[in-house]
Amino acid sequence: MGMDRDEIFQKIQGVLVDALGVDEDEVTAEATLMGDLGAESIDFLDIVFRLEKAFGIKVPREELFPAESLLNNPELVSNGKLTSKGLAELRERVPHTDLSEFEKNPDLSKLADLFTVNAIVTYIDGRLNA
């Protein structure tokens, strides 16, 4: 099933509009899921369920939204920042996301900024065209 990036983006846009109740024009490639689009825990599940239906694949939640389990682990997070163990864990979970900026100052509050619509597009692209 060859889908190009634009088609994937459009489908994901539709999923996010349905899951988050936002308008299509709010779902830009650079929009952050948590910051700009207001997504939280229950929304991540909603998004994963809809992505699975839309693209006919299984999406382990951890692969798309790893932040949740990282946040509660004291080995991975210390003083509001990811430890080197935490960073390694993150890198493993999200090979599709560019962490170079984040690694300079791995502040938890900035973790949310990483998860953009683009990151989802890249993930799905990777899964479909692997």
Partner 1 sequence: MRWIWIDKFAEFESGRRAVAIKNVTMAEEHLHDHFPGFPVMPECLMIEAMAQTAGILVGEAAGFREKVVLAKISKAVFFDYVRPGDSLRIEAEITTMAIEAASTSGTITRGDQTIAEIELMFSHVDRNLAGKKFPEENFVFTGTFTGLLRDIALNHKRPVAQPTESG
Partner 2 sequence: MRFVLIDKIVSLEKGKRLTAVKSVSLSEEYLADHFPTFPVLPGVLLLEGLVESASWLVRLTQDFACSMVLLEQARNVKYKSFMSPGSQIEYTVEAKTIDERVSSFFGHGVVDGQDIVEARIGLRHFNLADRDPAMAGVDGYVIEQMKSRYDLLSGQSLNSD
**57 scored as a contact of partner 1 (CB under 8 A):** no
The window from 39-47, 52-60, 82-90, 95-103 that contacts partner 2 (CB under 8 A) reads 39-47
How many other C-beta atoms lie within 10 A of the C-beta of residue 67? 19
Contact letters (x/-) for partner 2, 14-33, by CB under 8 A? -----xxxx-----------
Contact 17, 27 (CB under 8 A): yes
Q: CA-CA distance, 72 to 85, in Å (whole number)?
A: 14
Out of 2, 25, 30, 42, name the contact with partner 2 by CB under 8 A: 42
The helix or strand, by DSSP H or E, that contains position 22, with its residue range, turns out to be: none
Mapped onto helix, strand or coil, the DSSP state of residue 81 is strand
- Residue 43 lies near partner 1 (rule: CB under 8 A): yes
Indicate the residue among 53 and 85 with the shorter CB distance to partner 1: 53
- The item of partner 2, partner 1, none sharing an interface with residue 95, based on CB under 5 to 8 Å by kind, is none
CB-based contact 18:50 (threshold 8 Å): yes
Residues near partner 2 (CB under 8 A) are 19-22, 38, 40, 42-43
